[in-house]
Amino acid sequence: MQKMAFPGRHALEDPSHSHIPSSYAPLLDSSTTSANETSDRQGRRRRASVVALPLMAVLLVVALFSVVALVTNGNKPTPMVSTPPESQQPENMIPPRRGEAEGVSLKSFRPLLGAPKYSWTNKLLAWQKTGFHFQPKKNWMNGPVFYKGWYHFFYQYNPYGAVWGNIAWGHAVSRDLIHWRHLPMAMVPDDWYDINGVWTGSATILEDGRLVMLYTGSTNESVQVQNLAYPADPSDPLLVDWVKYPGNPVLVPPPGIGSKDFRDPTTAWLTPQGKWRFIIGSKLNKTGISLVYDTKDFKTYELLNGLLHSVPGTGMWECVDIFPVSKIVENGLDTGENGPGVKHVVKTSLDDDKNDYYALGTYDGETGKWTPDDPINDVGIGLRYDYGTFYASKTFYDQEKKRRVLWGWIKETDSENADILKRWASVQAIPRTILFDKKTGKNILQWPVEEVERLRMSKKVFDKVEAKPGSVVPLHVGFETSQLDIVAEFEVDKAALESINGTDDTTYSCPTSHGAAHRGALGPFGLLVHTDDHQTEQTAVYFYISKDTQGNCKTFFCADHSRSSEAIDVDKSIYGSTVPVLEGEKLSMRILVDHSIVESFGQGGRTCITSRIYPARAVYENAGIFLFNNATDAAITASLHIWQMSSAYAHS
C-alpha cells in the first residue's frame, strides 16, 4: 500500500527546553544535560521511519493515554478521521461510536438521545481546563518510565482534533511527575503495520540498561500486531529519537484469536529460565484472557501453553497488567520480584463496561500462571481501581524512589460538540502509588504521589465542626476553590450508631441510590465541592452507613454527579462502592479538586472515585465548599485541612 508521508521534525536544539513552546512551567533542574549532548543533537532531523518512542517514568512499563502539544515541521498529512465544523453539526447529533470499528473500546461519550446541546461560553470552557493534571494543550489524548533522571510519558494523541482518531504517540518529560514539558511526537503511524494507529505499548529496561518498547499497531487491514521500537541514541536522557525495528511486526494474532482482539503488551520481566516474559490482552468468545509470551531478544517469541488467567463472561481484556506488591515492606517492587512475602496484582480494562478491575493472587513463575486469592472477586467481576471515570490504566516501577506508580486516563463525559469547541479532550489522573493493604489483607491502597503536595499553598483548618441531621454547613476558606487538596476525618455520634437496631437499607448501592438526597438513619454525610451559594449545582462526595439487625455495619463511599451541572448533555451518574472500615478507625477521605476533575480517596485509598464534571454556575468565585449531613438519626463531627493548590503550568 502507499505509505502516508509524515513531515520531518527538528530534534531539540536545547535540552533544557527553553525554546520549546509549552504552557507548562520550566522543569526542575533542567540544566543537567551536557553541552556535548546539546551539540550532538543540533540540526539533526528524523526520517519518516524514525520515531521518538517515549518511556514513562521508571524502570519498565507504560501504557499510553494522554495528549500533548504537537511540534512538527512542514505540512500536516491528511487526517484519517475528521470532524465537521460546529456550524455544520445538527443540534442534537449523536456522535459516532469512535474506536469500536477500529477494534478498540468506545472513545466517545454518548449523551441521552435528544438531550439539548448546552450553550457553553468561552469563559466556562476555559474554567474546565485543569491546573495540575497532565492534559493536552489541544486536541485528544488518552505510559511512563524513568530513564537517566527523567520521567517520560508517552500517550495516545490525535494531532488533528479533540476526538479519537489518527492515533500517534505524544511525549512529555518531567523531573517530578507533576511539572511536565511537551516534546515532539514520539511515534507516528507511517508504516503498513501501524498505519491505522500507534496504540498502547510498554517499556522494558534490559539488564545492560538498554531500553526497548513493544507497542500495538493497527495495520493497513486493521489487524492488531505487536511491534518493536528502541531509542536511536540510548545515551540521550530525553529519548527524543526512536527507531522502529525493520522486521516489524514481531507478533501477529495467534490461531484462534481475532484480528482485532490482540493488543496492549505489558512491561517484560525476567523468568527463572532467564527469558523475558510479558502478557497481552485478548478474548475467546466472551471469556477475557491474557496470553503469555517469552523472548530472549524481543525479535522472536514463544507463546506459552495455556494462559496467565481467564475469566468467563468478562469479554475483551485491554491494557492488561501484572505486578508484585509486598506483604512486608512499605515500598514498591520491581516487576520481576516474587517470593513468599509477595502477592501479585492482575488488572484488566474491560472493553465491555469501560472500567478497570483488579484482583490479588499468586503468580507461579515456572508455569506462567496466576491464581486469584478469592475467585468470587476475580479479575473483571470484583474490585476496581476506581469507581468513577478512570480507564486504560498502567503501572510502572519507579526505581528512583522504589515505588509502584499507577497512571489512568480520564475521558470526557460531556458532548463531543463541547470538546470541539474547547479544542481539547481527556486528562490524566494524578499519578498514584500502590501498596498492599496489610490491615485488611484483601485490597490495595492507592494514594496521590507525594510530589503533588509541593503545590499546596494557603491552608485552612476546621476542627470538630458539628453537622446535625439534615444540615448543610458552609466552610469559608478565604480563597478560590477551583484547585484544592482536602483531607477530612468524620466521627459519627456513637450513641446514635449503637442505639439503631438495624436500618432499612441493607441492599444500598451508590449507583442505584438517589445519591446525596437519599436519607437514611446513618447517612449520607460528607462534602459538597463545586457548589454555588444556592446549592443548585453541587458535587457530593460522601459516606453512607447501613446496619443490619445483628449490628454489622457496611460503609459506602460515593460521589453524586446528578446535580453537578445544569447542562443536560453531560454524564450525571452516581458512582461508588463499599469501603472497608476496621474497628477503631475514623472515616476519612482525601479529595483533589482541579477544576473539572475531582479525585476522591476513601479510607487511605481503599476505595477511589474519579469525577469528571462540568458545572455552569459553580465556577470561579461562585463556587464554595460545604459540609453536609443528610442522615435522619445521627449527628457527625468533621475535622478538615484544606489547601489551595498552585498550578503546575500556566494556561495559554
- Reduced to 3 states (helix: H, G, I; strand: E, B; else coil), residue 267 is coil
Q: What is the pLDDT of residue 135?
A: 83
Q: What is the pLDDT of residues 94-112, one digit of tens each?
A: 555 555 565 555 545 556 5
- Residue 27: is its pLDDT beyond 80? no
- Residue 10: is its pLDDT beyond 50? no
Question: Which of these, 27, 68, 131, 130, lies nearest to 455 by C-alpha position?
Answer: 131
- The overall average pLDDT reported for the chain is 84
Contact between 199 and 215 (Cβ < 8 Å)? yes
For the residues 621-644, what does the mean pLDDT come to?
Answer: 97
Residue with cell 463556587: 623
For the residues 182-211, what does the mean pLDDT come to?
Answer: 94
- Residue 76: is its pLDDT beyond 80? no
Q: What is the pLDDT of residues 135-174, one digit of tens each?
A: 866 555 446 899 999 999 998 888 777 775 778 899 999 9
Q: What is the pLDDT of residues 525-546, one digit of tens each?
A: 999 999 999 999 999 999 999 9
Residue 114 binned pLDDT confidence (cut-offs 50, 70, 90): low
Question: Within 13 A of 601's CA, how many CA atoms are on the CB side?
Answer: 22
Q: What is the pLDDT of residue 520?
A: 94
133 vs 18, more confident? 133
78 contact partners, CB below 8 Å, separation of at least 6: none
DSSP state of 452: G
Q: What is the pLDDT of residue 472?
A: 98
Q: What is the pLDDT of residue 102?
A: 58
Q: What is the pLDDT of residue 98?
A: 53
Q: What is the pLDDT of residue 139?
A: 55
Q: What is the pLDDT of residue 207?
A: 94
The share of the chain scoring above pLDDT 70, in percent, equals 80
Q: Rounded distance, CA 125 to CA 163, Å?
A: 16
Question: Which of these, 453, 457, 451, 456, lies nearest to 175 by C-alpha position?
Answer: 451
Question: Parallel, antiparallel, or unpaired for β 587-594 and 597-602?
Answer: antiparallel
Q: What is the pLDDT of residues 460-516, one digit of tens each?
A: 999 999 999 999 999 999 999 999 999 999 999 999 999 998 877 778 999 999 999
650 vs 597, more confident? 597
2: amino acid identity, one letter: Q
- Residue 402: is its pLDDT beyond 70? yes
For the residues 318-322, what does the mean pLDDT come to?
Answer: 97
**In this structure, how many other beta carbons lie within 10 angstroms of the beta carbon of residue 306?**
13
Q: What is the pLDDT of residue 99?
A: 55
Q: What is the pLDDT of residue 8?
A: 30
Q: Rounded distance, CA 175 to CA 515, Å?
A: 40
548 vs 650, more confident? 548
65 vs 311, more confident? 311
Question: Which of these, 102, 83, 101, lies nearest to 93 by C-alpha position?
Answer: 83
Q: What is the pLDDT of residue 96?
A: 57
Phi first, then psi, for residue 381 (nearest 5°) are: -130, 0
For the residues 318-326, what does the mean pLDDT come to?
Answer: 97
Q: Rounded distance, CA 382 to CA 368, Å?
A: 22
For the residues 326-340, what does the mean pLDDT come to?
Answer: 95
